[in-house]
Structure 1
Amino acid sequence: MSLLLTCTCLCWAEQCPTEKRVSKGRALTRISNCKETGRNFTCRCASPEDHLNGTVTTRLLPMLYTLVLLVGLPANAMAFWVLATKTKKCASTLFLLNLAGADLLFVLLLPFKISYHLLGNNWLFGEYACRALVTLFYGNMYSSILFLTCISLDRYVSLVHPFIWRGSERVCGTVGICIGVWLAIGLGMSPLLLIHHSQHVPQLNITTCHDFLEQSTETQYLAYYFPTLVVLGFVLPFVIIVFSYGCVLAHLLATRGHYGHVVRVLVLVLLVFALCFTPSNVLLFSHYLQGTSSSRNDAYIHYVLALALSAFNNCFDPFIYFYISRDFRAQLGSMVCCPWRQQDKASLARACENLVLPLRSSEQSQP
C-alpha cells in the first residue's frame, strides 16, 4: 500500500510543468497542453522531455525493477531447477516449468531495462536490442497469463472430469499445449518486432526505447493491435480462470471435499491479476480508445508505473508453484528446510558401516 501511495504522489508531482512545449509523439508520450485563463496558465500534463527527465522514470522505475530482479532471479532460478530436475513430469508440472522459464528469461533482461532508466531513459544497445526487449517484456506478461489459464483448466479437468484425459496421452497433450502457447505468443508479439522503437530526442541528446515514437503508418495499426491483445490475452483468460476455479470450488463443496487449498490458490491467482496484470491492461486498453486527445497522454506516467507493477508477477509466481504442486513443496522443503537431516542420515550410515566392518573382521579372525 505504501508503494502505491508513493507512486501516486510522484505522479501528481510531475504533472504540472511551467514550460509550454508541444511535441509530436506516439500514443504513449505525454504532450503538453497548457492554456491561459486570465492571468494564469493551467497545465494539464507534462511534455515528453519533462517525463523523460522526471523522478518517476529515472529513479522510481529502476528501483522497482531492481527489486523485481533481486527477488525474482533467485526465486525463479531455484523454482526452475526444482521443477526441471526434482519433480515428476506431470501435466501441471510442465505448465509450471514453462511459466518459471518465462519468468527467468524476463528477469535476466531486467539489467538492460534498469540501465536504460538510470541513464536518463537513454538506450545504448541499438534498435534491434530495443525491439527484442519490448517484445519479450510484453511476451512475458501474456505468456504468464496464458500458462496460469492452462493451469486452471488442468485443475478443472483433473478434479471435475478426471476420466476425460489420463495417463501418457495427457502428458503428450500438455507438451503440445505448451508448444501451442509459445507459438501463439510468438505470433502475437511479432508485430512489435516490425516497429522502429528507438527514437532520438535532440532536446535531451538521448535515444529512447519504446517511450517516444513519431506518428507514422507503421504505428497506426497499434490502435487496433493493443486493444485486441488486451481482449484475447487478458480479458478472455481471466474469465476462463474464474470459471475454472469456480467450478472446482463448487464441485468440492458439493462432494464435501477439502476446499481450503483451492481457495488459497484462487485468491493468490486473483491477487496476481489484480495487482500485476489489471492496471497495465486497463490503462493500455483505455489509452488506445481515447485517440490522440490530451487526456490520453495524461495517463502515460501511470501506464509506465503499471508496467513496472506488472513485472512483480515474477515475484508472486513462485508462491503459485508452492501452492499448486505438492511435489514442488516436498522437494523445496527437503532442500531448504531440512538439509541437515539428510546429512545426519548419511553420517549415521557411514558410522554404522564403520561399526559393522570391524566386527566382521574380528569374527573372521576367531578360530
Structure 2
Amino acid sequence: MERKLMSSVPSVSSSETEPNGTFSSNDSHRNCTIENFKREFYPIIYLIIFVWGALGNGFSIYVFLQPYKKCTSVNVFMLNLAISDLLFTSTLPFRADYYLRGSNWMFGDLACRIMSYSLYVNMYSSIYFLTVLSVVRFLATVHPFRLLHVTSIRSAWILCGIIWIFIMASSAVLLKNGSEQDGNVTLCLELNLNKVIKLQAMNYLALVVGFLLPFCTLSICYLLIIRALLMVKVPETGLRVSHRKALTTIIIALVTFLLCFLPYHVLRTLHLVMWEVGTCIDWLHKAVVITLALAATNSCFNPLLYYFAGENFKDRLRSAVRKGHLQKIKCSFPVCVRLKKETRV
C-alpha cells in the first residue's frame, strides 16, 4: 500500500501505508519479511480484481449508456460509480508489475504519481457515491413527493460533479509525490519517512470525514428505512418495488463498507499508531496488505448493486442483449441468402 500523503478529507486519510519494515528515505525497505508476502499476494489479487472489475464495470457502463425511455437520478449515480471503478481497475496491472519485480517501478515518474492518486480517488468517490445513492433511495421511498427536486436528473449530475471535484482536488497533493531512486531500483507507492508524523495527524481527520461520517449516514438511512417499513402494512405480494430496491441498495452499500472499507481504515490507523522506527510488526503489516486488497475489491462488488438494485438495469440489459442479437441476425442475413442461392445453382 502506498505510503503517501493526502491533503484534506479523503486524501488526508489516504496513506496507502505500504507495510515495509523500513522506509524509502533510508535503508533498503526490503529488510522486513513482509516484502516476500507482498510479491506473492498483490499481483494475483490485483489481476483478479482487474479482470472482474474491468468486465463488470465496463459492461455496466455500456448498459447504462443504452438509450432508454426512462432515466433516473439513481442511474446517474451508478454510472459515475462504474466510471470511477473502471478508471481504477485500469491501473491495477501496473501495480501488479511493480510487486512482481520486487518493488521496482518501470513506468516513469508521472505514472507513479497517478497510482496513489487513482486508488484514493476511487476509494473515496465510491464511499461518497454509495452514501448519496443510499440517501436518495431513502428519500425517494419515504418522501417521494416532498423532495422531488432533490432526486431530479439535473440535481444528480450537479451532485456528482461536486463529488468528483471535491475528491480529485483534495487528493491532488498525491501528485506531488513521485518515484524515488534507491540504489539500482526505483521505488513507488512507498512512504517518505519525513511525512510520517504529519500523516498520523491527518489520518484521524480523514478517518472521521472520509469514512465515519458517510458510514454513520448510511447506517442511519438503514435504520430509518427499516422503521418506515415496519410502519407500513406490507401486502401479501410483498414489499413495494421502491421499498425493496431502497432496502437492497442500502444493504449492499453497508456490506461493501463493512467488508471493503472498514477493515482498511481500522488497520491503517492501528498501523500508524503502533509504528516505530526500525520495527517490523509482521502480523500487522500483513493484515494491512490484505485489507488494502479488500478495499480495492469494492470495484468488483458494485456491478452486483447495479444488477439487483439498479433502476431499470435489468430492462436495459435485456434491451442491449436483444439489440445485439438483432444486429447479429441482420449482419448474417445477406450471407444466408447468398448461401441459399449458391446451393440452388
- 1:149 Cα offset (Å): 0.3
DSSP-derived class of the 2:226 partner: helix
- 1:53 Cα offset (Å): 7.7
Write out per-residue CA displacement over residues 245-273 of structure 1, whole angstroms, 9 at most, x where no aligned residue. 22122212211241555444333222211
Report if aligned partners of 1:106, 1:137 keep a CA contact under 8 Å in 2: yes
Q: Distance in 2 between matches of 1:280 and 1:307?
A: 6
Identity %: 29
- 1:83 Cα offset (Å): 1.1
Task: Structure 2 unaligned segments of length 5 or more: list them.
Answer: 1-15, 23-27, 331-345
2:51 to 70, 75, 87: 70
User: Bigger radius of gyration, 1 or 2?
Assistant: 1
Q: Name the counterpart of 2:20.
A: 30
Q: Distance in 2 between matches of 1:74 and 1:315?
A: 9
Instruction: Give the structure, 1 or 2, with the largest relative contact order (CA under 8 Å, sep 6 or more).
Output: 2
Match runs of 1:157-306 below 5 Å: 157-166=139-148, 170-194=152-176, 196-202=177-183, 205-213=184-192, 215-216=193-194, 220-257=197-234, 258=239, 261-292=245-276, 294=279, 299-306=284-291
Match runs of 1:142-153 below 5 Å: 142-153=124-135
Report if aligned partners of 2:140, 2:151 keep a CA contact under 8 Å in 1: no
Q: Distance in 2 between matches of 1:168 and 1:278?
A: 29
* 1:270–1:279 Cα change, 3 Å: same
Report if aligned partners of 1:62, 1:114 keep a CA contact under 8 Å in 2: yes
Q: CA RMSD in A?
A: 3.0
- 1:159 Cα offset (Å): 1.0
DSSP-derived class of the 1:207 partner: strand
Report if aligned partners of 2:115, 2:189 keep a CA contact under 8 Å in 1: no
DSSP-derived class of the 1:221 partner: helix
Write out per-residue CA displacement over residues 37-89 of structure 1, whole angstroms, 9 at most, x where no aligned residue. xxxxxxxxxx8314488442212210001101111111101101111234533
Q: Distance in 2 between matches of 1:136 and 1:300?
A: 22
Q: Distance in 2 between matches of 1:229 and 1:165?
A: 30
* 1:327–1:70 Cα change, 3 Å: same
Q: TM-score, normalised by structure 2?
A: 0.78
Q: Name the counterpart of 1:321.
A: 306
Q: Name the counterpart of 2:335.
A: none
Q: Distance in 2 between matches of 1:169 and 1:298?
A: 46
Report if aligned partners of 1:103, 1:314 keep a CA contact under 8 Å in 2: yes
Q: Distance in 2 between matches of 1:70 and 1:244?
A: 33
Write out per-residue CA displacement over residues 183-209 of structure 1, whole angstroms, 9 at most, x where no aligned residue. 110122122223x3423333xx32221
Aligned length: 302
DSSP-derived class of the 2:181 partner: strand
Paired amino acid for 2:170: G
Report if aligned partners of 1:57, 1:121 keep a CA contact under 8 Å in 2: no
Write out per-residue CA displacement over residues 137-173 of structure 1, whole angstroms, 9 at most, x where no aligned residue. 1110111010000101101110112223326982222
* 1:27–1:165 Cα change, 3 Å: closer
Q: TM-score, normalised by structure 1?
A: 0.73
Q: Name the counterpart of 1:121.
A: 103
DSSP-derived class of the 1:200 partner: strand
Match runs of 1:88-167 below 5 Å: 88-166=70-148
Task: Structure 1 unaligned segments of length 5 or more: list them.
Answer: 1-25, 33-46, 347-367
Report if aligned partners of 1:227, 1:284 keep a CA contact under 8 Å in 2: no
